[in-house]
Amino acid sequence: MVTRLSNFFLRTLREDPAGAEVASHKLLIRAGYIRPQAAGIFAWLPLGLRVKAKIETVVREEMAAAGAQEVHFPALMPREAYEATGRWEEYGDLLFRLQDRKGGDYLLAPTHEEAFTLLVKDLYSSYKDLPLTLYQIQDKYRDEARPRAGLLRGREFTMKDAYSFDASDEGLDASYQAQRDAYERIFQRLGLEYVIVQADAGAMGGSRSEEFLHPTPVGEDTFVRSEGGYAANVEAYTTTPPEAVGWDDVAAAAIYESPDTPTIETLVAHSNAVLDGEYTAADTLKNVVLALTHIDGTRELVIVGLPGDRDVDMKRAEVAFAPAEIEPATDADFEKHPLLVRGYIGPWSETGPVLGEESATGIRYLVDPRVADGTRWITGANIDQKHVHTVVAGRDFVADGTVEIANVREGDPAPDGSGPVWLAKGMEIGHVFQLGRKYAEALGLKVLNENGKLVTVTMGSYGIGVTRILAIIAELNNDDKGLIWPASVAPFDVHVVAAGRDQIAFDVAESIAVQLEAARLDVLYDDRVKVSPGVKFGDAELVGVPKIVIVGRGAAEGQVELWDRATGERDSVSVEDAIARLTAP
Amino acid sequence: MVTRLSNFFLRTLREDPAGAEVASHKLLIRAGYIRPQAAGIFAWLPLGLRVKAKIETVVREEMAAAGAQEVHFPALMPREAYEATGRWEEYGDLLFRLQDRKGGDYLLAPTHEEAFTLLVKDLYSSYKDLPLTLYQIQDKYRDEARPRAGLLRGREFTMKDAYSFDASDEGLDASYQAQRDAYERIFQRLGLEYVIVQADAGAMGGSRSEEFLHPTPVGEDTFVRSEGGYAANVEAYTTTPPEAVGWDDVAAAAIYESPDTPTIETLVAHSNAVLDGEYTAADTLKNVVLALTHIDGTRELVIVGLPGDRDVDMKRAEVAFAPAEIEPATDADFEKHPLLVRGYIGPWSETGPVLGEESATGIRYLVDPRVADGTRWITGANIDQKHVHTVVAGRDFVADGTVEIANVREGDPAPDGSGPVWLAKGMEIGHVFQLGRKYAEALGLKVLNENGKLVTVTMGSYGIGVTRILAIIAELNNDDKGLIWPASVAPFDVHVVAAGRDQIAFDVAESIAVQLEAARLDVLYDDRVKVSPGVKFGDAELVGVPKIVIVGRGAAEGQVELWDRATGERDSVSVEDAIARLTAP
């Protein structure tokens, strides 16, 4: 059935909506695809639903090809299972929580790991039932603190979430690979360039984790790549530590006066003036005090030592210390710990000139992996106005562990030896993730193995944000006139515009629309009578159907124009040629 | 792609689930269509999703044929619009309410009248934009006090809700008729017998309102029908009042002693003993005191006078007084109003022997329509141990209005003159409803009419419970072995069972399954190797695919059995004949 604009539910808007900053947000509203209902919550209009349905069809087809089976969970879920896995607390304010009339606790699910785990536990009991991959396409909720950029970071969003269940690690690897391959096919079909980057397992707990990023300078995620093919989230980049070396011939550490040198810059200048040698920031060990707030509400201070030429990357630090929340230590923290001498903090252990004891303060001391055994440093003496030089890691202090919170720089080595890395920007379009046994353990999902023994199931989790992808496609495909949809997801295949004033233009346009529909194309026909051709063209450009047919003054002679929305090219052709070209496979 | 039971996510259960009472609830769980998540909240398994998708496809096709356009609203909606229409309060405990991290009030929408009204207000402004009918298929929430009967009354359910927008009453009538016609086609395609009954507009406020009921003795709704074609909800049945007659020749009302006659029965016996004449309960006027609790929390007493041979139908009373809640007056109510003499309450007005003044007590006096002007009654004298006879309505008292709360009986006249009615049971399967201008007025939806004047839009609301219909179809189509789906909504068209022990049975079954799929049928193939034929047959009967092909011992000779799940008939036929019969149009 031809869709006629004269009664299609669409009203294009000339003005950008208030508060919309990114192109997809502005254009999807202006072109009548979505309407805001509340911050980060949108209604879908007929045009938007059509694009969404096309993306979902691609996802469903590739899920089926990968052997995944579709199920559907409610958005409203009881608290219990999320309590058992700790996520009821961990999610913090991101979770929409509510109570029913009897006071029972519920949530609007941000993802459904728990529910899928319990469903499989409920019905399956043997390794013979596995492998199994289930998925759903479902509306999810997260109470983002600052919903923004329209569908790119909303509080409600449609997601395809899949979960795999295997009795063995090898099984998980195979299930993971099948989903990973399906994701590659999905993004290829949607025309979305992607880079697969290693991701940090983060708060979800688990092992292998990769994100599909669309590389674009306007992306909100930073990742690192090398010529040799390494690609990782900045949060997942791992530093290659130098080999440990001995310190037999190294002189003892020595404290020296260093008045007014609370910064690395002043310290280096002063040290070069008073010590033998030529030092740079990289020779100094900077000690940063961070405050962690754990899920149970307790506050813990941690000191992190890292080379003085590096800064703390707070996003890497957030991931490194998750699920605890972090912030720089506050004045109040320092007041509570008078042993912390601001500007002169040194390694925090019980040996040598460095002062205090962990047990005395409860403060852990962690270091960057570059602070390997045998490396020598200039660093704070934990005494006001004093530093210490020739401090040797492993000899003069032993850290409580290493941590990756130093910033990554262009030229740093890829951990796989594939050369120096550079930094790039991207947008996340998918995530595949080996959960391992965390959820199965928490919820008791076990099956009998070949030997009749109960083994805990190992799981994977695989997500694609359907509405997010729609927004990204819109973000990547537009110009100052409006949207330019790729054919695979366009709301219609062809937009026929009756642009003449005579009845003949409408008759010819109608006939073309009907013929194209008969050839199984989706046709939007602008049959509006009292609307000028200029307004119709403007609407066509804004709505962004890739192929436009203009039926205007040439209609009486059987001539029409084929207009390619992407290139802007217009060809004058006969009606027959237009239909032949549009219906060509 | 043939669906193979060896890796299909399905586990049939032998035991009925605890707490399940109705057949659809038991069987949909036992046969692996749904799994409970919380009271009245279910997950959909692959079999269930397939049936649901088929019903949704029928609904979508008929909505499109009726000119309705699909949109989609979020389940999570802000409070404001529901506040403006009063529904935030009116829905009471039925509403799931929650707050976001900023303390903003939200709800999980039970229906979306407000959202659709605002959407159209947002985008449209002229009568030329109308008529317009929009719909969505969406998951809705109601916090039922006693969720029961599985999907028949859940707390989450999938619903098709449509809303029409017109500039004139005639337009609304046409839009209403288009949806009503679409509903008839939908139920015909789904094989669901239906009766269209007049329904009370109830709490939604509005004018024309009809329900589609499936007539069945196990239905939870009672309706009345006549031979002449009248059909109405009991709540919507209207009493035909007798014509008013004069009272010129009627003697004056007279109070008489009636000790110990607090019931109609004792009153009639006593009256026949002491008065001239032969009275029945129908000659007495019973006065019932009800307590209304209004939305704002205030409590109001109302006295309702009705013929003594009728009882109060509390469901009719609920509808008559909605949105106030009602209950019989309590002892505490009577204590507060000493003028109410229990057992001897009479008409409550300021004239004649009946006592008190409305203004003095704040108690309204309403009567059944049968208490028409000129009718004569024996009734309470509002004095202990005393009644009054020859009380004439209109002469001795004037009620504050009429109200329909008396029970309806077999033999009562249909209000349209189509003969006496009888009572029948049914299940609601759809509802079409003229909202009128209530929502448009509350939310300010106006358009310019032909004369450039702003007119308030008039609306209709049209609902079909998709998951409820699925449950009803299951409820109507089963036997002691399991489900028996009608072909139009069956999860698969054909269930092929490899029932032999030899490889040849599997080879032949596989070949049949592939050929049927190639003919565009949906095939479930039971290819399980270590499962006995008996178990496979039991599963096939439980799952309820209408056509079953058994490939057993005859496979080597090219013979299979065609098994009709509904009739139980089994025909031994050749493989070729089986395929020909199953693929016949």
Residue A205, pLDDT score: 46
Please tell me which of the candidates A49, A78, A115 has its beta carbon nearest to residue B70.
Answer: A49
Query: Which residues of chain A are within 8 Å of residue B32 when distances are taken between CB atoms?
Result: 123
Query: Which residues of chain B are within 8 Å of residue A115 when distances are taken between CB atoms?
Result: 37, 43
Question: Percentage of chain A surpassing pLDDT 70?
Answer: 97
Structure tokens at B526: 């039971």
Q: Which of residues 76-105 of B touch A (CB under 8 A)?
A: 76-78, 93, 96-98, 100-101, 104
The interface predicted TM-score of the complex, written ipTM, equals 0.86
Residue A518, pLDDT score: 96
Question: What is the full DSSP assignment across A309-320?
Answer: T--B-HHHHHHH
Residue in A closest to B8 by C-alpha: A69
Distance from CA of A106 to the nearest CA of B (A): 10
Q: Helices (H) and strands (E) in chain A — how many of each?
A: 15, 32
Residue A361, pLDDT score: 63
Is the CA virtual torsion A424, A425, A431, A436 positive or negative?
A: positive
| CA distances, A370 to each of A305, A306, A397, B132, B418 (Å) | 10, 8, 15, 67, 94
Does residue A201 have a pLDDT over 90?
Answer: no
pTM of the model: 0.87
- Asked if A74 lies within 8 A of B119 by C-beta distance, the reply is no
Residue A208, pLDDT score: 87
The span from the CA of B535 to the CA of A436, in Å, is 35
Does residue A55 have a pLDDT over 60?
Answer: yes
Helix (H, G, I), strand (E, B) or coil at A228: coil
Does B145 touch chain A if contact means CB atoms closer than 8 Å?
yes
Helix (H, G, I), strand (E, B) or coil at A92: helix
pLDDT profile of chain B (585 residues), mean per 10: 94 91 94 95 97 98 97 95 90 93 95 96 95 97 89 92 97 97 97 91 63 89 92 90 90 90 91 90 94 90 94 92 91 86 78 41 86 94 89 89 93 93 93 94 95 96 96 95 96 96 94 96 96 96 98 94 97 97 93
Amino acid found at A96: F
Size of interface A-B (CB pairs under 8 A): 131
The span from the CA of A16 to the CA of A30, in Å, is 6
Query: Which residues of chain A are within 8 Å of residue B44 when distances are taken between CB atoms?
Result: 71-73
- Asked if A7 lies within 8 A of B67 by C-beta distance, the reply is yes
Reported as a single tens digit per residue, the pLDDT across A307-339 is 999 999 998 999 899 888 999 999 999 888 878
Query: Which residues of chain B are within 8 Å of residue A32 when distances are taken between CB atoms?
Result: 123
Does residue A582 have a pLDDT over 70?
Answer: yes
Q: Tell me the pLDDT of chain A averaged across its residues.
A: 92
| A67, A165 contact by CB (below 8 A) | no
Residue B305, pLDDT score: 94
- Asked if B9 lies within 8 A of A69 by C-beta distance, the reply is yes
Reported as a single tens digit per residue, the pLDDT across A370-402 is 999 999 999 998 888 999 999 999 988 888 899
Residue B351, pLDDT score: 38
Does A161 touch chain B if contact means CB atoms closer than 8 Å?
no
Query: Which residues of chain A are within 8 Å of residue B106 when distances are taken between CB atoms?
Result: 38, 96
Distance from CA of A508 to the nearest CA of B (A): 24
Residue B425, pLDDT score: 93
Distance from CA of B5 to the nearest CA of A (A): 11
Query: Which residues of chain B are within 8 Å of residue A43 when distances are taken between CB atoms?
Result: 71-74, 115, 119
Domains of chain B (ranges, CATH numbers): 23-75+110-237+422-474 (3.30.930.10), 254-402 (3.90.960.10), 492-583 (3.40.50.800)
Residue in A closest to B32 by C-alpha: A123
Range B341-379 burial, b when 16+ CB lie within 10 A, else e:
beebbbbbbeebbbbbeeeebebbbbbbebbbbebbbbb
Please tell me which of the candidates B8, B143, B156 has its beta carbon nearest to residue A101.
Answer: B143
Q: Where are the alpha helices (DSSP H) in B397-490?
A: 438-443, 466-476
Helix (H, G, I), strand (E, B) or coil at B62: helix
Instruction: Give the CA angle between residues A236, A143, A427 to the nearest 5°.
Output: 40
Residue A351, pLDDT score: 39
Range A265-304 burial, b when 16+ CB lie within 10 A, else e:
eebbebbeeebeeebebebbbbbbbbbbeeeeeebebbbb
Residue in A closest to B5 by C-alpha: A129
Query: Which residues of chain A are within 8 Å of residue B46 when distances are taken between CB atoms?
Result: 69-71
- Asked if A41 lies within 8 A of B101 by C-beta distance, the reply is no
Tally Cβ neighbours within 10 Å of residue A470.
Answer: 27
| CA distances, A214 to each of A174, A195, A200, A426 (Å) | 25, 6, 17, 5
Question: Percentage of chain A surpassing pLDDT 90?
Answer: 76
- Terminal Cα distance for chain B, rounded: 21
Does B524 touch chain A if contact means CB atoms closer than 8 Å?
no
Pairing of strands A523-526, A3-4: parallel
Distance from CA of B122 to the nearest CA of A (A): 9
Q: What is the largest CA-CA distance in chain A?
A: 98
The better pLDDT of the pair B258, A351 is held by B258
Comparing A38-42, A276-280, B128-132, B175-179, which segment has the lowest mean pLDDT? A276-280
Does A570 touch chain B if contact means CB atoms closer than 8 Å?
no
Mean pLDDT of A198-207: 62
Residue in B closest to A112 by C-alpha: B43
User: Among B44, B71, B524, which would you mutate to test the A interface (most chain A Cβ atoms within 10 Å of its Cβ)?
Assistant: B71
Residue A337, pLDDT score: 82
Distance from CA of A100 to the nearest CA of B (A): 6
Q: Which of residues 5-44 of A touch B (CB under 8 A)?
A: 7-9, 11, 32, 35, 37-38, 41-44
Residue A348, pLDDT score: 64
Mean pLDDT of A511-539: 96
Mean pLDDT of A539-553: 97
- Asked if B37 lies within 8 A of A115 by C-beta distance, the reply is yes
| A306, A288 contact by CB (below 8 A) | yes
- Asked if A143 lies within 8 A of B100 by C-beta distance, the reply is yes
Query: Which residues of chain A are within 8 Å of residue B134 when distances are taken between CB atoms?
Result: 9
Residue in B closest to A156 by C-alpha: B74
Residue B361, pLDDT score: 61
Does residue A534 have a pLDDT over 50?
Answer: yes
Does B301 touch chain A if contact means CB atoms closer than 8 Å?
no
- Asked if A139 lies within 8 A of B73 by C-beta distance, the reply is no
Residue in B closest to A108 by C-alpha: B76
Sequence-separated (6 or more) residues with CB below 8 Å from residue B429:
B187, B192, B194, B212, B213, B214, B464, B465, B468, B469, B472
The span from the CA of B399 to the CA of B209, in Å, is 28
Nearest Cα neighbor of A573 from A555, A559, A553 is A559
| B506, B527 contact by CB (below 8 A) | yes
Residue B205, pLDDT score: 46
- Asked if B71 lies within 8 A of A132 by C-beta distance, the reply is no
Residue in B closest to A129 by C-alpha: B7
- Asked if B98 lies within 8 A of A100 by C-beta distance, the reply is no
